[in-house]
Copies of this chain bind each other. A is one copy, B any other.
Amino acid sequence: MNPDIRRERENATFSTELLTNILDGDQEKTRRRREIVSLVCSDPDFEHEDLNFLSRSERYEAAVKKSAQMILKMREYGVSDPEEIYCYKSSVHRGRSEPLDLHLGMFLPTLLNQATPEQQERFLMPAWNLEIIGTYAQTEIGHGTHLRGLETTATYDPATQEFVLNSPTVTSIKWWPGGLGKTANHAVVLAQLHTQGKCRGLHAFIVPIRSTSSHKPLPGVEVGDIGPKFGFDEVDNGYLKFANVRVPRGNMLMKYAQVEPDGTYQKAPSDKLTYGTMVFIRSMIVGDSARALSKASTIAIRYSAVRHQSELRPGEAEPQILDYQTQQQKLFPLLATAYAFQFVGQYMTQTYHRITGDINQGDYTELPELHALAAGLKAFTTWAANAGIEECRMACGGHGYSRCSSLPDIYVNFTPSCTYEGENTVMMLQTARYLVKSYRQARDGQQLRGVVSYLNEADRRLRTQPVSAAPQLDADDLPGLVEAYKLRAASLVALAAKNLQAQLQKGKRQEDAWNSTAVDLVRASDAHCHYVVVKLFSSKLEEVQDSEVHSVLATLALLYALHGISQRSGDFLQAGLLSVSQLPRVSQKLKELLARVRPNAVALVDAFDYRDEMLNSVLGRYDGNVYENMFEWARKSPLNRTEVSEQGPRKPDTTR
C-alpha cells in the first residue's frame, strides 16, 4: 500500500466500520451487501474487458449478455428482495444502466399494477422467462414532461375488436425508451385512446414490436436505436413509429379504465393510482445522487492523498495536494454533501415505505407532501451531485480527464438524472406549487402539519420582525443553523407568494403571473429543499451512539450548513438572519472546519466502502498505487495494438 494513504488511515480518529454500518442501515445489512457484491465479483461470467476500450456496439453486446445471465442467476441464488436485486444488479453492471432496465423496472411493474388477472396470465410468465422482453414507450421526440401533449393514437375498431396504433406526425415518434433500439420485442405504449369518435386521453397498450422467433420488426413497426449519447453506451435507447399497427382489444391494460367490445369506454375510478410509482422512483434518485457523489469524492480524495504537487515551503518535498486549503475547499463540502444526501436518501425510502402502508389502505393524506418533497429533492440533489462530480474530476487535474479515473464515466451516466423522471426545473416548480398553496393556507388560518409547518409562522414573522434585528447566529450551533435555514426558506416562500400576488393584482392571468414569478418560485423551492437536507442531517446525528463517529459526522454537518450559508450569504442577509459583521466569522469557521476534516478525509471516503471493482478507477484505488497502474492501463489502449498506425501522417503524398 502507498505509504501516504496508509498514514492517512492510521491517523483517522474513528472506526470506518461503524460508520459503514450506519450508512448501510445496520451491521447485518453491511454483511449482506458485501456478500452479494463478492458473489458477483467472483463470478467469471461477469468478468469483462475494460469497457473504456470497447466500441459502443461492443459495450451494448456485452451488457445484454450479462443482463440475461444476471436474471438467471438472481433466480438461481434466490435474490428477490428489491434492495438485494438492486445491489446484485448494480454490482453486475457497476452502477451503469443496462438494456433490461426498463423490462425489469417498468414493463414488469406496469403489468403487475395495471393488467387484469387474465392479462397477467398471458404476459407475466413469458416476460419473467425473457420470452417477452418489454420496454416502456412514453416519451416522444417532440414531447416529454407534458404528458397530455403526447400524440400517438390508439383508435378502437369495433368491427375487428382491435386497437389501431399510429404515429400521426414526426413529433409523435416514440423516442428514448431504453431497450427499445435492439433488445425488446414488446412495449407498453402510452397512446391517446380514441373510441366512439372521442379522445379519452392517455392509456397503456401492450404492443408486440418484433417477432418472438426472428426478432425482426413486425409489419407497420419502424424501430431502431436513437444513436450515440453522452453516456449510456450500454443502453439501446430507441425510436418507434407506428403505421396502422393492430393489437387485440385485450392488449389495452384494463385493470382500471376499460373499453368494452362495442367500444364503450369505462373511466378509471381514480387518477391517483399511478402516482405512487413516480414518487418512489424520484425518492430512489435521491439515493442515486448520494452514491454518485460518494464515488466521485472517494476517487478525488484518495488521489489527493497520494498526489504531490508544487511546494509549500521552498526546498521541502512537494506536499500532498490534500494539504492545500483550496483543494480542501473544493472537496470537503462535497464529501459533506455526499453524507447529507445518503441520510436524505434513507429518510425518503423510509418515508415512502411508511406512507405506502397508508396508501394501500386508501389513505392518501400524506401523499401530496411526499410528492412535493420527492420532486424538489430529486432536483436539488441531482443538480448538486451533477456539479459536484465534475468538481471532483477537475480537482484531479489532468488525470481526472483520463477515462482511467472513471470520473468521466460516473458523470455521463449520472447527468441524465437531472432530466429524466421529471426535468429538474419542472420539479422545482411542482414543489413551489405545494409551498405556495401551503403558505396561503397558513395565512388564511389553517394549521399546517409536516415539513411545511414552518410556514405557519412565516407570514406573521415577516410582518413583525424588522430585518435589522438579526439574531446572533452562532457558527458552532447546528440547531441554530437549521433554524436559520428554516427561516430563510420561510422568507423566500413568502417573497415568491407575494410577488405572485402582485402579478395577479396587475390583472395578469394565473398562468402568466406564475410564469412571471417562476425564478422566485424556483428559488423558494431550492431554499425549502436546502432546509430539509440540513435538518435531516442534523436529526441523523441524534441516532449516532458512538462518540467518535458522532464527532466526525457533526463536523461534516456543520461544514455542510455553513458552506451553504457562505454560498448564499445574500439570502441570509436579506432575510435578516445574518448581519454583515458576522460574515468574517463564517468564513473563518469554514476554514477551521476544513482543517478539522483533513485528518479524517480518507477514512470518511473509505467508510462508503466501494470495492475497487465497483469504482473501477485507477486514481481511486484503495492501495493508492496510482502511477504504475495508470501506466499498465494505458499500455492496453486499443491505439497501442499496432506499433505503427495504419494511416500515418506520412502516408499522404507530401510532394504535391
- Could you list which residues of chain A lie within 8 angstroms of chain B, going by C-beta atoms? 52-53, 55-57, 60-62, 64-65, 67-69, 72, 99-100, 129-131, 133, 139, 141-146, 148-149, 170-171, 173, 175-176, 181-183, 214-217, 224-230, 236, 239, 307-314, 318, 323-327, 329-330, 387, 390, 393-394, 397-398, 400-404, 408, 412, 415-416, 418-420, 423-426, 429, 467, 495, 509, 511-512, 515-520, 522, 566, 568-574, 576, 580, 583-584, 587, 590-591, 627-628, 630-631, 633-640, 643-652, 654, 656
- Given the known A-B contacts A146-B318, A519-B591, are A423 and B397 also in contact in the complex, defined by CB atoms under 8 Å? yes
* Given A65-B652, A309-B145, A637-B224 contact (CB < 8 Å): yes
Instruction: Tell me whether A224 and B634 are in contact (CB under 8 A).
Output: yes
Q: How many Å lie between the Cα of A511 and that of B425 in the bound state?
A: 44
Query: In the complex, are the beta carbons of B654 and A68 less than 8 A apart?
Result: yes
Can you list the 4 inter-chain pairs with the closest CB atoms, starting with the nearest?
A: A569-B570, A227-B637, A225-B639, A230-B408
Known: A64-B647, A390-B390, A394-B415. 6 other contacts (CB 8 A): A68-B654, A146-B318, A224-B639, A230-B403, A325-B518, A569-B571
- B515 near A312 with CB under 8 A, answer yes
Q: Which residues in B have their C-beta under 8 angstroms from that of A226? A: 402, 634, 637
Q: With A and B bound together, what is the CA distance between A80 and B449 in angstroms?
A: 73
Q: How far is the CA of A487 from the CA of B89 in the complex (A)?
A: 56
Question: Which chain B residues border A55 with CB–CB below 8 Å?
Answer: 55, 638
Alpha-carbon distance between A307 and B418 when the two chains are bound, in angstroms: 19
The residues of B that contact A67 with a CB separation of less than 8 Å are 649
Q: Is B419 within 8 A of A398, CB to CB? A: yes
Bound complex: CA of A653 vs CA of B519, how far in Å?
55
Question: CA–CA, A649 to B180, complex, Å?
Answer: 13
11 CB contacts below 8 A, A to B, read: A57-B638, A61-B646, A65-B647, A72-B656, A215-B650, A229-B401, A230-B403, A239-B631, A325-B515, A570-B573, A570-B583
Q: B227 to A404, Cβ gap below 8 A? A: yes
A281 → B minimal CB distance (Å): 16
Residues of B within 8 Å of A183, CB to CB, are 645, 648-649
A650 touches B130 (CB 8 A): yes
CB distance from A156 to the nearest CB of B (A): 25
Query: Which residues in B have their C-beta under 8 angstroms from that of A591?
Result: 516, 519
The answer to whether A649 and B401 touch (CB under 8 A), given A170-B628, A324-B515, A580-B467, is no
Bound state CA distance, A569 and B229, in angstroms? 38
Given known contacts A182-B639, A229-B402, A419-B394, A149 and B647 CB-to-CB distance under 8 angstroms: no
Contact A227 B309 (CB under 8 A): no
**A647-B583 in contact (CB<8A):** no
Chain B hits for A130, CB < 8 A: 649-650, 654
A594 to chain B, nearest CB (A): 8
A393 to B574, CA, bound (A): 32
Q: Chain B residues near A580 (CB, 8 Å)?
A: 467, 573-574, 576
A89, chain B: closest CB distance, angstroms: 15
Q: Check A311 against B146 for contact (C-beta < 8 Å).
A: yes
Known contacts being A69-B652, A324-B515, A628-B170, is A644 close to B215, with CB within 8 Å? yes
Give the Cβ gap from A591 to chain B, nearest Cβ, in Å.
6
Closest to A216 in B: B643
Q: Shortest distance in angstroms between A147's beta carbon and chain B's nearest beta carbon?
A: 10
Which residues of B have CB within 8 Å of A519?
A: 325-326, 329, 587, 590-591
Closest residue of chain B to A509, judged by CB?
A: B313
A313 in contact with B511 (CB, 8 Å): yes
Contact, CB under 8 Å: B227 / A318 = no
| Contact among B148, B182, B415 for A645, CB-based, below 8 A | B182
- A644 CA to B398 CA, complexed, in Å: 40
- Complex contact B170–A627 (CB within 8 A): yes
**In the complex, which residues of chain B have a beta carbon less than 8 angstroms from the beta carbon of A637?**
224-228
Report B-chain residues with C-beta under 8 Å of the C-beta of A566.
570
The residues of B that contact A313 with a CB separation of less than 8 Å are: 509, 511-512
Q: Using Cβ atoms and an 8 Å threshold, which residues of chain B touch A645?
A: 60-61, 64, 182-183
Measured between C-beta atoms, what is the minimum distance from A423 to chain B in Å?
6
A412 closest partner in B (C-beta)? B408
Given contacts A398-B144, A654-B130, contact A227 B633 (CB under 8 A): yes
Query: B647, A145: Cβ atoms under 8 Å?
Result: no
Give Cα distance in the complex from A577 to B569, angstroms. Answer: 15
Distance of A99 Cα from B639 Cα, bound (Å): 13
Kindly report which residue of chain B lies nearest to residue A420, judged by CB atoms. Answer: B398
A72 and B309 within 8 A (CB): no
The residue of chain B having its C-beta at the shortest distance from the C-beta of A644 within the complex is B215
A308 near B516: Cβ-Cβ < 8 Å: no
Contact of B516 with A325 in the complex, beta carbons under 8 Å: yes
Contacting residues, chain B, for A145 (C-beta < 8 A)? 309-310, 397
Chain B proximity of A128: nearest CB distance (Å): 10
Residue of B nearest to A581 (CB): B467
**Is the beta-carbon distance between B570 and A639 smaller than 8 angstroms?**
no
State in angstroms the CA–CA spacing of A596 and B134 once bound together.
Answer: 48
Q: Give A635 Cβ to nearest chain B Cβ, in Å.
A: 6
Name the B residues within 8 Å of A307 (CB-CB).
142
Contacts of A509 in B (CB 8 A): 313
Point out the residue from B57, B227, B569 that lies within 8 Å of A52, measured CB to CB.
B227
